[in-house]
Structure 1
Amino acid sequence: MIKITLPDGSVREYPKGSSSYDVALSISEGLARNVLAAKVNGKVQDANLPIEEDSTLQLLTWNDTDGKSTFWHSSAHLMAEALESLYPGVKFWVGPPLENGFYYDVDTNGVAISNDDFKKIEDKMLELARQKNEYQRIPMSKADAIQYFEEKGDEYKLDLLSGLEDGSITFYRQGNFTDLCRGPHILNTGFIKAAKIMNVAGAYFKGDQNNKMLTRIYGVTFPKQKELDDYLQFLEEAKRRDHRKLGQELELFTFSEKVGKGLPLWLPKGAMLRERLENFLRRAQVKAGYQQVVTPHIGGKQLYITSGHWEKYGKDSFQPITTPEEGEEFMLKPMNCPHHCEIYKARPRSYRELPLRLAEFGTVYRYEQSGELHGLTRVRGFTQDDAHIFCREDQVEEEFKKVIDLVLYVFRALGFENFSAQVSLRDPENKTKYFGTDEAWDSAENAIRKAAAEKGLQTVEELGEAAFYGPKLDFMVKDALGRRWQLGTIQVDYQLPQRFDLEYVGSDNQKHRPVMIHRAPFGSLERFIAILIENTAGNFPLWLSPDQIAILPISEKYEDYANDVFLTLQEHDIRGYVDHRDEKIGRKIRDAEVNKLPLMLIVGEKEAEEGKVSVRRKGEGDLGAMSIEEFIAYAKTEINKNIPQFGQK
């Protein structure tokens, strides 16, 4: 007998060789019907594989991320089977699951697959799914595997095999389709009840533009048709909220091929939005004891060799810039932290100065591949709301908790109430990725765990997600559409102070090494704004909106009065514009609504005579007539009530 420990801590005994599916069946038939895969001792595997020793077990269903991933991996195989049936002679490279769905890179043997073919592929997938064919795991010797694909004439799978060791190779077969695959897979194709081909694109074999262009076919599947219908509706709403579309419509930002891919240009309204976000955080940082610094956009290459960024990220950075002086090399700044280390080192430091909190809205540059660029969420130049806290080791936990308070303040002020926290740890099986000693890493990881627990955060731990110099606390925010985004991050770092030989003189008059905390509540300002646009659908809170008011004169006769009102409001820092167009008032109101203007002030004969404005609020309609003084008081109250002061409960 073997002992199986379930997630609730209960322990059950089963005959050795029982499968995860057997365990599910012993609990309830309903549970067994929904099991897609299993996590045994932390590793996801087929639900029908035998368990030979005492183990922990999590049964994975559609409600689990790993369950969905297995479902979509199996669906990629089902799509491949459909393609092989419809287009004899096709060859396959790789077909991984994605966050939502899957793709397969295919050599179509000269056949062009377009949108017109999607329905045919979907129908064939569902026809095959209804056969409820089992996904059979077949261990295979390397020689037999090579022979199989040589006979099939599939050079792509032969290339994959060349990097695999004999004894570690498995095939999976369902119906008439056999594929090289490590798994895991669902039990049979019958779980797949709805399928949609989403897109086709080109993809170079191995991502190398010198290789053949393959066809990448994207798809998504679900265990119920209603879930597919809901997903397609979700995509339509996401398309409506797409920050690239709204950014253009609201005149926030643009891109230029001449300036360069992935380098956003902020238009006046977008620049105002950025400035307000920066000022919002600056005010909180001043209260929290931060000092503002400014560093150059470039730095000597040796700076990043010292920090380790060249070793770890040199390939992802813009290549060094040479100057007329022989041997002199600079880099576009990929990180702000090395510059801040040099600021700390500018003069001797005493323990009495610590913690020293240095903050900067610093623009950095990373050379992202062209195919990975996406609006503001993936760019080559972006601004971090970066800060680095230099502190004594006994101050780390308290400083970390203060940063958590600041991050939570930012999220709540901007409407991100639904978030979770992830403790990102090193991968114990790949220690060469990281700098530093085990002792330093243990201390940093435990400080993060303790600080998060004392602030009442519910956390999950993820191995292998740490930065090369230290563990992190990453905040995962859920937006209005239920999508999860990684935004704020806090990192504990024992390595850069060591690499830059940073010191302070302690109370014992001896030299000591400070600890460094990296933090960025927004993360990337560009990415944060993209997510904010999509979360609000462009309907920003009144205090943040680039234009808070639009003054709409009914006719040209009242433009002088409208201009006077505008100048008065400007003096009270209420921002907007006068709509001088020769349009009917109904059109002006509709356009202001479309442009997400929070407040509309309509002025005509009566308003001009009485010194008033007729106020409309987006989403609420007519608020009635107000004197200029009354409106100023109303607007300031509405603006300020949505901006909580840092430190307030």
Structure 2
Amino acid sequence: MNTSIEAEKQNIQPDLALVRHSTAHLMAAAVQLLWPEAKFGVGPAIKHGFYYDMELPVALTPKDLERIESKMRELKNKKLGYERIEMDIDEAIADMTRRNQPYKVELLQLLKEKGSTAVAEETGDSEAVGVSSDQGVEKVSFYKTGEFVDLCRGPHVESTKQIGAFKLMSIAGAYWRGDEKNKQLQRLYGTAFNTKEELEHHLWVLEEAKKRDHRRLGQELDLFTFSDLVGAGLPLFTPKGTLIRDLLEEFVQSLQEPLGYQRVHIPHITKNDLYKTSGHWDKFQEDIFHVSGKSGEDFCIKPMNCPHHTQIYASRMRSYRELPVRLSEVTTVYRDELPGTLHGLSRVRSFTQDDAHVFCMSEQVREEALRIYSIIEGFYRPFGMELSVQLSLWDEQHPEKYLGTPEIWHDAQEQLRQVLREKGVEWTEVAGEAAFYGPKIDFTAKDALERSWQLATIQLDFNLPERFNLEYIAADGHATRPIMLHRAILGSVERFMSILIEHYAGVFPTWLAPVQAMIIPIADRHLDYAQQVQQTLQAVKFPSPLSSLRVEVDYARESMQKKIRTAQMQKIPYMLVIGDKEAESGTVAVRRRSGNDLGAISLEALAERMKTEVLTRSDLA
């Protein structure tokens, strides 16, 4: 399946999907009027709008988007209808051949021979192909808008007057049917909303997102870098970036270790046999980095950790008295992503998981899932990210995509429903979104720009214990199969950092800021006192693992104003200005990065203020 397209289509509101798909047809109709030779591929609604792939006699420019948009408005004002036309498949093939639409003919031939499911999987455009079917189809539907006729299952709005506000956004290249061996088409992206206000808000979010781009801020704030010699998708973290990683890791540990989680450590390579036994090999072997050694055995670099943790559990027989066994680890995994999909920290080839796996008895599942739920709530609370919950179920129509029997799946899904009922939260259920080994509770966090990100997860797994023959001795003395829970809080540390950088626009709260205070001596004669202030503040200790305050002195031979501007550009929470008055009184003149001047403050009062912000993980006004 064209997974990049599928990813773009997630979480579209039904009414917006209708408007956006109808707008895609309107755009194609406008293009056809401007370039009658145009040949059309597919044009689905996606998460942030719509697109249409097409072959044109010219290479489009941003100016052409303005022409197309103008023509779209002209057609919209004509209040054109979306007329549904049904045809026999052979009649449709003949009609599209006559219209010189080879890509539509190709889709129709595929529909005739393999059915709509095959077309949807190859193109990612389920709207174009009708009801899901693994058998060849005999009839298809088209929609006519003005002079434009398109293969489409619908539905659409009744007429173009019901299309709201829209804007064409960009031009990209896309291989036909996602295959680089095929011709590259031009992909026109657009966005559409019900109202002008919604469109303007979306455009503001996009503009704000550019300002907050974690790739730019990561360089400006010296958090991470990439090297051509190391390779694409393999980030290198600087001391400041590593500090933020460590703080996030320590935060998770502080929440989970009181609940009985124990740390483990596993190697980064393994024999292929591990993943063949787990079932991951058949599902993911194309995404795995393969290595070979002197032994002649086949090895790979680990793309996930759960199979390794099963082997720690299986290292000796367990008693029911020992369960639950809770194993946790923060470790890097590696996946062979396509170069074109890599994007800063959000899509990389090496990423770090705050991974944990719980092995328990069936009667302990509810309590363990609730414990994980409490960790997730505690972790996201300081970031001010609103969480929404989704229960991801298997697709009963395609059991071949999953491991385990229908009975196992139904039982596992019901256990997770019970957890959500006990939490008293609202949730949605989505079929086909489960992991191949079990259902899961997925948590989506909303950032400062109201963008949604799927991050934390609780996954129930009856299958790996079965495949690895994991056992414990039950109270009645019989060997019994444990149940396994997978859990992630951040998901990927790298991806979470990319989200966090953009959520805060690089303005990290005091507890996360790599440098929490910059001491700014006005003249060289104030350097001795500046160093005393630094030593005093650094001596303030916190309960492990929060360590001490992170304070630096600006030794540059620059004006005070320039030093303040530099600290503000680095988004340091506190600037401590020191002159003759402060040195004599044993105080510091405190400025916040926001520009707020707090005036002269004693070192004791400042230390207590910063300590409070670190311990509560929230900045004071």
Taking structure 2 as the reference length, what is the TM-score of the superposition?
0.90
Task: Provide the rounded CA distance (Å) in 1 between the counterparts of 2:94 and 2:427.
Answer: 48
Kindly report which structure 2 residues correspond to 1:98-177, keeping only aligned pairs within 5 A, or say none: 98-109=46-57, 111-164=58-111, 165-177=136-148
Task: Provide the rounded CA distance (Å) in 2 between the counterparts of 1:597 and 1:197.
Answer: 39
TM-fit CA distance, 1:643: 6.8
TM-fit CA distance, 1:166: 3.3
Amino acid at match of 1:66: P
TM-fit CA distance, 1:193: 4.0
Residue segments in structure 2 that go unaligned for 5+ positions in a row:
1-10, 112-135, 541-547
Confirm whether residue 585 of structure 1 aligns to residue 582 of structure 2: no
Task: Provide the rounded CA distance (Å) in 2 between the counterparts of 1:545 and 1:308.
Answer: 42
SS of residue in 2 equivalent to 1:521: strand
Native 8 Å contact 1:133 1:190 kept in 2: yes
Q: Which residue of 2 aligns with 1:355?
A: 324
Native 8 Å contact 1:126 1:195 kept in 2: no
**Which of residues 494, 501, 509 is equivalent to 1:533?**
501
Confirm whether residue 298 of structure 1 aligns to residue 269 of structure 2: yes
- What is the CA RMSD across the aligned residues, in angstroms? 1.7
Native 8 Å contact 1:614 1:625 kept in 2: yes
Amino acid at match of 1:437: T
Task: Provide the rounded CA distance (Å) in 2 between the counterparts of 1:198 and 1:540.
Answer: 31
Confirm whether residue 266 of structure 1 aligns to residue 237 of structure 2: yes
Confirm whether residue 482 of structure 1 aligns to residue 453 of structure 2: no
Q: Which residue of 1 aligns with 2:366?
A: 397
Q: Which residue of 2 aligns with 1:239?
A: 210
Native 8 Å contact 1:126 1:193 kept in 2: no
Native 8 Å contact 1:558 1:603 kept in 2: yes
**Which of residues 174, 188, 194 is equivalent to 1:223?**
194
Amino acid at match of 1:325: S
SS of residue in 2 equivalent to 1:421: strand
Confirm whether residue 322 of structure 1 aligns to residue 292 of structure 2: yes
Q: Which residue of 1 aligns with 2:121?
A: none
Confirm whether residue 71 of structure 1 aligns to residue 19 of structure 2: yes
Q: Percent identity?
A: 50
SS of residue in 2 equivalent to 1:491: strand
Task: Provide the rounded CA distance (Å) in 2 between the counterparts of 1:254 and 1:183.
Answer: 46
Task: Provide the rounded CA distance (Å) in 2 between the counterparts of 1:424 and 1:224.
Answer: 32
Native 8 Å contact 2:509 2:618 kept in 1: no
TM-fit CA distance, 1:502: 0.5
Confirm whether residue 420 of structure 1 aligns to residue 367 of structure 2: no
Change in 2 beyond 3 A, CA 1:425/1:166: closer
Confirm whether residue 432 of structure 1 aligns to residue 400 of structure 2: yes
Task: Provide the rounded CA distance (Å) in 1 between the counterparts of 2:72 and 2:470.
Answer: 61
Confirm whether residue 82 of structure 1 aligns to residue 82 of structure 2: no
Task: Provide the rounded CA distance (Å) in 2 between the counterparts of 1:544 and 1:263.
Answer: 23
Amino acid at match of 1:323: G
Q: Which residue of 1 aligns with 2:283?
A: 312
Native 8 Å contact 1:364 1:382 kept in 2: yes
TM-fit CA distance, 1:64: 7.6
Can you list the C-alpha shifts for 1:484-530, whole angstroms capped at 9, x where unaligned?
A: 11111000100000001100011111100000000011111111111
Task: Provide the rounded CA distance (Å) in 2 between the counterparts of 1:467 and 1:580.
Answer: 54
Confirm whether residue 441 of structure 1 aligns to residue 416 of structure 2: no
Task: Provide the rounded CA distance (Å) in 1 between the counterparts of 2:406 and 2:176.
Answer: 39
Amino acid at match of 2:494: E
Structure of greater relative contact order (alpha carbons < 8 Å, 6+ residues apart): 2
Q: Which residue of 1 aligns with 2:434?
A: 466
Count of aligned positions:
578
Task: Provide the rounded CA distance (Å) in 2 between the counterparts of 1:643 and 1:396.
Answer: 33
Task: Provide the rounded CA distance (Å) in 2 between the counterparts of 1:605 and 1:419.
Answer: 50
SS of residue in 2 equivalent to 1:522: strand
Q: Which residue of 2 aligns with 1:12?
A: none
Change in 2 beyond 3 A, CA 1:365/1:130: same
Q: Which residue of 2 aligns with 1:59?
A: none
Task: Provide the rounded CA distance (Å) in 2 between the counterparts of 1:193 and 1:635.
Answer: 49
**Which of residues 570, 575, 582 is equivalent to 2:550?**
575
SS of residue in 2 equivalent to 1:163: helix
Task: Provide the rounded CA distance (Å) in 2 between the counterparts of 1:82 and 1:448.
Answer: 49
Residue segments in structure 1 that go unaligned for 5+ positions in a row:
1-62, 645-649
SS of residue in 1 equivalent to 2:491: coil
Amino acid at match of 1:130: N
Confirm whether residue 542 of structure 1 aligns to residue 513 of structure 2: no
Q: Which residue of 1 aligns with 2:122?
A: none
